Structure 1
Amino acid sequence: MLVRYNPWQELNAIQRQINSLFEDTRVPSTAFEKGLVRVPAAELQETEDAIHLKLELPGIEAKDLDIQVTEKAVYVSGERKSENKTEDKGVTKTEFHYGKFQRVIPLPAPIQNTNVTADYKDGILNLTLPKTEQAKNKVVKVNLEQPAA
Protein backbone atom coordinates (compact mmCIF):
# COMPACT_ATOMS: atom_id res chain seq x y z
CA MET A 1 0.00 0.00 0.00
CA LEU A 2 1.40 3.41 -1.02
CA VAL A 3 0.56 6.53 1.04
CA ARG A 4 1.23 10.00 -0.30
CA TYR A 5 3.18 12.25 2.13
CA ASN A 6 1.76 15.73 2.62
CA PRO A 7 4.28 18.06 4.39
CA TRP A 8 1.65 20.82 4.66
CA GLN A 9 -0.43 18.68 6.97
CA GLU A 10 2.33 18.81 9.63
CA LEU A 11 2.60 22.60 9.27
CA ASN A 12 -1.16 22.92 9.72
CA ALA A 13 -0.95 20.90 12.94
CA ILE A 14 1.82 23.16 14.26
CA GLN A 15 -0.19 26.26 13.32
CA ARG A 16 -3.21 24.91 15.24
CA GLN A 17 -1.03 24.34 18.33
CA ILE A 18 0.35 27.88 18.16
CA ASN A 19 -3.15 29.32 17.77
CA SER A 20 -4.37 27.35 20.78
CA LEU A 21 -1.61 28.93 22.90
CA PHE A 22 -2.87 32.42 22.06
CA GLU A 23 -6.49 31.46 22.67
CA ASP A 24 -5.74 30.33 26.23
CA THR A 25 -7.61 32.57 28.68
CA ARG A 26 -5.28 32.02 31.62
CA VAL A 27 -2.75 34.70 32.56
CA PRO A 28 0.71 33.51 31.47
CA SER A 29 2.04 33.67 35.03
CA THR A 30 2.66 29.92 35.17
CA ALA A 31 5.74 30.32 32.96
CA PHE A 32 7.26 32.69 35.53
CA GLU A 33 6.44 30.38 38.43
CA LYS A 34 8.51 27.65 36.79
CA GLY A 35 11.71 29.67 37.05
CA LEU A 36 11.62 31.66 33.83
CA VAL A 37 12.24 35.25 34.87
CA ARG A 38 12.30 38.18 32.49
CA VAL A 39 15.27 40.46 32.87
CA PRO A 40 15.67 43.95 31.45
CA ALA A 41 17.29 44.26 28.04
CA ALA A 42 20.74 45.86 28.13
CA GLU A 43 22.97 47.73 25.70
CA LEU A 44 26.66 48.18 26.47
CA GLN A 45 29.00 50.59 24.68
CA GLU A 46 32.68 50.88 25.54
CA THR A 47 34.69 54.00 24.74
CA GLU A 48 38.29 54.83 25.62
CA ASP A 49 37.30 56.57 28.88
CA ALA A 50 34.09 54.88 30.01
CA ILE A 51 31.54 52.13 29.65
CA HIS A 52 28.00 53.25 28.87
CA LEU A 53 25.26 50.89 29.99
CA LYS A 54 21.64 51.35 28.97
CA LEU A 55 18.84 49.25 30.51
CA GLU A 56 15.23 49.07 29.37
CA LEU A 57 12.93 49.21 32.43
CA PRO A 58 9.46 50.29 31.25
CA GLY A 59 6.75 50.76 33.85
CA ILE A 60 9.13 50.75 36.80
CA GLU A 61 9.47 53.74 39.10
CA ALA A 62 12.94 54.87 40.19
CA LYS A 63 12.07 54.20 43.84
CA ASP A 64 11.50 50.51 42.96
CA LEU A 65 15.03 50.06 41.54
CA ASP A 66 18.19 48.98 43.36
CA ILE A 67 21.46 49.58 41.47
CA GLN A 68 24.79 48.45 42.87
CA VAL A 69 28.12 48.84 41.06
CA THR A 70 31.42 47.12 41.76
CA GLU A 71 34.64 47.61 39.79
CA LYS A 72 33.75 44.58 37.64
CA ALA A 73 29.94 44.37 37.42
CA VAL A 74 26.59 46.14 37.68
CA TYR A 75 23.79 44.59 39.73
CA VAL A 76 20.25 45.80 39.02
CA SER A 77 17.15 44.59 40.80
CA GLY A 78 13.67 45.92 41.08
CA GLU A 79 9.99 45.26 41.05
CA ARG A 80 7.26 46.08 38.59
CA LYS A 81 4.11 46.42 40.65
CA SER A 82 0.71 45.58 39.23
CA GLU A 83 -2.10 48.10 39.28
CA ASN A 84 -5.08 46.86 41.25
CA LYS A 85 -8.29 48.08 39.66
CA THR A 86 -11.40 47.10 41.55
CA GLU A 87 -14.03 49.13 39.70
CA ASP A 88 -14.03 46.75 36.70
CA LYS A 89 -15.04 43.13 37.30
CA GLY A 90 -14.28 41.92 33.75
CA VAL A 91 -11.74 39.39 32.53
CA THR A 92 -8.17 40.62 32.12
CA LYS A 93 -5.68 39.05 29.72
CA THR A 94 -2.12 40.24 30.12
CA GLU A 95 1.32 39.55 28.75
CA PHE A 96 2.92 42.05 31.13
CA HIS A 97 5.32 40.66 33.70
CA TYR A 98 4.76 41.87 37.23
CA GLY A 99 7.05 41.07 40.09
CA LYS A 100 10.69 41.13 41.06
CA PHE A 101 13.67 40.80 38.75
CA GLN A 102 17.43 40.96 39.03
CA ARG A 103 20.32 41.03 36.61
CA VAL A 104 24.10 41.07 36.99
CA ILE A 105 26.03 42.53 34.05
CA PRO A 106 29.78 41.82 33.99
CA LEU A 107 31.85 44.73 32.69
CA PRO A 108 34.59 44.35 30.04
CA ALA A 109 37.04 46.61 31.96
CA PRO A 110 37.50 47.73 35.56
CA ILE A 111 35.67 50.95 36.42
CA GLN A 112 35.76 53.64 39.10
CA ASN A 113 32.58 52.62 40.89
CA THR A 114 32.67 55.74 43.09
CA ASN A 115 32.25 58.06 40.05
CA VAL A 116 29.27 56.44 38.32
CA THR A 117 26.56 58.76 36.98
CA ALA A 118 22.98 57.68 36.32
CA ASP A 119 20.04 59.08 34.39
CA TYR A 120 16.56 57.50 34.42
CA LYS A 121 13.96 58.82 32.01
CA ASP A 122 11.00 57.27 30.15
CA GLY A 123 11.83 53.78 31.41
CA ILE A 124 15.45 53.88 30.19
CA LEU A 125 18.30 53.77 32.70
CA ASN A 126 21.61 55.21 31.44
CA LEU A 127 24.73 54.56 33.48
CA THR A 128 28.11 56.13 32.69
CA LEU A 129 30.83 54.03 34.25
CA PRO A 130 34.25 55.74 34.03
CA LYS A 131 37.18 53.38 33.54
CA THR A 132 40.06 53.18 36.00
CA GLU A 133 43.30 54.88 34.96
CA GLN A 134 44.93 51.45 34.52
CA ALA A 135 42.14 50.37 32.15
CA LYS A 136 42.39 53.63 30.15
CA ASN A 137 46.16 53.39 29.72
CA LYS A 138 46.32 49.69 29.08
CA VAL A 139 48.61 49.33 26.07
CA VAL A 140 49.93 45.97 25.00
CA LYS A 141 53.14 45.80 22.95
CA VAL A 142 53.05 43.21 20.21
CA ASN A 143 56.37 41.50 19.53
CA LEU A 144 56.89 40.93 15.82
CA GLU A 145 60.37 39.38 16.08
CA GLN A 146 60.71 36.09 14.23
CA PRO A 147 61.93 33.15 16.30
CA ALA A 148 65.48 31.98 15.50
CA ALA A 149 65.41 29.07 13.07
Structure 2
Amino acid sequence: MALIRWEPFRDIERLEPFREIETLQRRMNRLFDRLAPTDGGETTAFNFVPAAELEETDEAIHLRLEVPGLEAKDMNVEVTPEAVSISGERKSETKTEDKGISRSEFRYGRFQRIIPLPSLVQNDKVQAEYKDGILRLTLPKSEAEKQKVVKVNLG
Protein backbone atom coordinates (compact mmCIF):
# COMPACT_ATOMS: atom_id res chain seq x y z
CA MET A 1 0.00 0.00 0.00
CA ALA A 2 1.40 3.37 -1.00
CA LEU A 3 1.22 6.42 1.24
CA ILE A 4 -0.27 9.50 -0.38
CA ARG A 5 0.19 12.97 1.09
CA TRP A 6 -3.19 14.57 1.83
CA GLU A 7 -3.53 18.18 0.75
CA PRO A 8 -7.18 19.16 1.34
CA PHE A 9 -7.02 22.67 -0.14
CA ARG A 10 -5.20 21.80 -3.35
CA ASP A 11 -8.36 21.60 -5.46
CA ILE A 12 -11.40 23.83 -5.01
CA GLU A 13 -13.76 20.81 -5.36
CA ARG A 14 -12.31 19.37 -2.16
CA LEU A 15 -13.30 22.47 -0.14
CA GLU A 16 -17.05 21.74 -0.10
CA PRO A 17 -16.92 19.08 2.69
CA PHE A 18 -14.88 21.47 4.82
CA ARG A 19 -17.53 24.17 4.48
CA GLU A 20 -20.11 21.75 5.85
CA ILE A 21 -17.82 20.85 8.75
CA GLU A 22 -17.19 24.55 9.41
CA THR A 23 -20.95 25.21 9.50
CA LEU A 24 -21.45 22.32 11.93
CA GLN A 25 -18.58 23.63 14.08
CA ARG A 26 -20.16 27.11 14.27
CA ARG A 27 -23.49 25.60 15.35
CA MET A 28 -21.81 23.48 18.03
CA ASN A 29 -19.83 26.49 19.29
CA ARG A 30 -23.06 28.48 19.67
CA LEU A 31 -24.60 25.63 21.66
CA PHE A 32 -21.57 25.33 23.95
CA ASP A 33 -21.40 29.11 24.39
CA ARG A 34 -24.88 28.95 25.92
CA LEU A 35 -23.70 26.31 28.41
CA ALA A 36 -20.27 27.76 29.20
CA PRO A 37 -19.56 29.72 32.42
CA THR A 38 -19.67 33.50 32.04
CA ASP A 39 -18.42 36.30 34.28
CA GLY A 40 -17.32 34.04 37.12
CA GLY A 41 -20.68 32.29 37.46
CA GLU A 42 -21.44 28.79 36.34
CA THR A 43 -24.26 27.82 34.05
CA THR A 44 -25.88 24.45 33.75
CA ALA A 45 -28.75 23.56 31.46
CA PHE A 46 -29.20 27.23 30.55
CA ASN A 47 -29.70 28.30 34.23
CA PHE A 48 -27.55 30.81 36.10
CA VAL A 49 -25.78 29.62 39.26
CA PRO A 50 -24.05 32.38 41.27
CA ALA A 51 -20.32 32.18 41.95
CA ALA A 52 -19.39 31.71 45.62
CA GLU A 53 -16.38 32.28 47.85
CA LEU A 54 -16.06 30.64 51.26
CA GLU A 55 -13.64 31.61 54.05
CA GLU A 56 -13.44 29.86 57.40
CA THR A 57 -12.06 31.40 60.60
CA ASP A 58 -11.99 30.07 64.17
CA GLU A 59 -15.23 31.89 65.00
CA ALA A 60 -17.29 31.90 61.79
CA ILE A 61 -17.67 31.01 58.14
CA HIS A 62 -17.82 33.94 55.73
CA LEU A 63 -19.66 33.31 52.47
CA ARG A 64 -19.82 35.72 49.53
CA LEU A 65 -22.14 35.13 46.58
CA GLU A 66 -22.11 37.06 43.33
CA VAL A 67 -25.71 37.83 42.30
CA PRO A 68 -25.59 41.00 40.18
CA GLY A 69 -28.73 42.57 38.81
CA LEU A 70 -31.01 41.27 41.56
CA GLU A 71 -32.76 43.03 44.36
CA ALA A 72 -32.85 41.56 47.85
CA LYS A 73 -36.59 40.89 47.51
CA ASP A 74 -35.89 38.64 44.50
CA MET A 75 -33.72 36.23 46.55
CA ASN A 76 -34.50 33.55 49.12
CA VAL A 77 -31.70 32.53 51.50
CA GLU A 78 -32.12 29.56 53.84
CA VAL A 79 -29.48 28.36 56.30
CA THR A 80 -29.34 25.02 58.09
CA PRO A 81 -26.51 24.04 60.47
CA GLU A 82 -24.91 22.12 57.57
CA ALA A 83 -25.62 24.15 54.40
CA VAL A 84 -26.76 27.41 52.77
CA SER A 85 -29.38 27.47 50.03
CA ILE A 86 -29.88 30.53 47.85
CA SER A 87 -32.53 30.78 45.17
CA GLY A 88 -34.10 33.56 43.20
CA GLU A 89 -35.30 34.77 39.87
CA ARG A 90 -33.93 37.19 37.33
CA LYS A 91 -36.86 38.89 35.68
CA SER A 92 -36.78 39.95 32.05
CA GLU A 93 -37.44 43.48 30.89
CA THR A 94 -38.12 43.43 27.18
CA LYS A 95 -37.42 46.58 25.24
CA THR A 96 -38.41 46.93 21.62
CA GLU A 97 -35.92 48.60 19.40
CA ASP A 98 -35.75 49.74 15.80
CA LYS A 99 -37.96 47.80 13.36
CA GLY A 100 -39.39 45.56 16.08
CA ILE A 101 -36.11 43.73 16.69
CA SER A 102 -35.08 43.17 20.29
CA ARG A 103 -31.88 41.46 21.39
CA SER A 104 -30.75 40.49 24.87
CA GLU A 105 -27.62 38.72 26.08
CA PHE A 106 -28.71 38.61 29.73
CA ARG A 107 -29.89 35.37 31.27
CA TYR A 108 -33.30 35.34 32.92
CA GLY A 109 -35.12 32.76 34.96
CA ARG A 110 -34.94 30.91 38.25
CA PHE A 111 -31.72 29.74 39.88
CA GLN A 112 -30.72 27.82 43.00
CA ARG A 113 -27.45 26.91 44.64
CA ILE A 114 -26.90 24.79 47.74
CA ILE A 115 -23.51 25.15 49.42
CA PRO A 116 -22.47 22.56 52.02
CA LEU A 117 -20.60 24.11 54.94
CA PRO A 118 -17.29 22.75 56.29
CA SER A 119 -18.42 23.15 59.93
CA LEU A 120 -21.72 23.28 61.80
CA VAL A 121 -23.09 26.82 62.25
CA GLN A 122 -25.64 28.56 64.46
CA ASN A 123 -28.21 29.13 61.76
CA ASP A 124 -30.34 31.39 64.00
CA LYS A 125 -27.49 33.95 64.33
CA VAL A 126 -26.58 34.52 60.68
CA GLN A 127 -25.79 38.08 59.59
CA ALA A 128 -26.44 39.12 55.98
CA GLU A 129 -25.54 42.14 53.86
CA TYR A 130 -26.40 42.71 50.20
CA LYS A 131 -24.60 45.51 48.39
CA ASP A 132 -23.45 46.08 44.79
CA GLY A 133 -24.52 42.61 43.64
CA ILE A 134 -22.59 40.79 46.37
CA LEU A 135 -24.40 38.89 49.14
CA ARG A 136 -22.23 38.52 52.26
CA LEU A 137 -23.19 36.03 54.95
CA THR A 138 -21.46 35.68 58.30
CA LEU A 139 -22.28 32.27 59.75
CA PRO A 140 -21.12 31.90 63.38
CA LYS A 141 -19.83 28.43 64.18
CA SER A 142 -21.69 26.33 66.71
CA GLU A 143 -20.19 26.13 70.21
CA ALA A 144 -19.34 22.45 69.69
CA GLU A 145 -17.29 23.35 66.60
CA LYS A 146 -15.47 26.20 68.37
CA GLN A 147 -14.42 23.93 71.24
CA LYS A 148 -13.49 21.00 69.04
CA VAL A 149 -9.93 19.87 69.72
CA VAL A 150 -8.31 17.18 67.67
CA LYS A 151 -5.39 15.24 69.14
CA VAL A 152 -2.68 14.40 66.64
CA ASN A 153 -0.86 11.13 67.08
CA LEU A 154 2.84 11.55 66.29
CA GLY A 155 3.52 7.83 66.11
**Which structure carries more helix by proportion?**
2
What's the CA shift for 1:38?
1.9
Q: Residues of 2 paired with 1:44 and 1:141: CA distance?
A: 26
Calculate the TM-score normalised by the size of structure 2: 0.72
**Number of positions where the alignment pairs a residue of Structure 1 with one of Structure 2:** 133
What's the CA shift for 1:20?
8.4
Which residue pairs with 2:5 in the alignment?
3
What's the CA shift for 1:93?
3.0
How do 1:125-140 residues align onto structure 2 when only pairs under 5 Å count? 125-140=135-150
Unaligned runs of 5+ in 2: 9-17, 36-43
Which residue pairs with 2:25 in the alignment?
17
Q: Residues of 1 paired with 2:22 and 2:118: CA distance?
A: 42
**Structure 1 residues 80 and 88, CA, compared in 2 at 3 Å: closer, same or farther?**
farther
What is the SS of the residue equivalent to 1:103? strand
**Structure 1 residues 50 and 20, CA, compared in 2 at 3 Å: closer, same or farther?**
closer
What's the CA shift for 1:133?
1.1
Q: Residues of 2 paired with 1:142 and 1:118: CA distance?
A: 36
Which residue pairs with 2:76 in the alignment?
66
Which residue pairs with 2:40 in the alignment?
none
**Structure 1 residues 15 and 126, CA, compared in 2 at 3 Å: closer, same or farther?**
farther
**Residue-by-residue CA offset, 1:66-112 (whole Å, 9 max, x unaligned):** 00000000010000111133575542333311011011000000000
Identity value in percent:
55
Calculate the TM-score normalised by the size of structure 1: 0.75
Q: Residues of 2 paired with 1:96 and 1:135: CA distance?
A: 42
Is 1:116 matched with 2:129? no
Which residue pairs with 1:56 in the alignment?
66
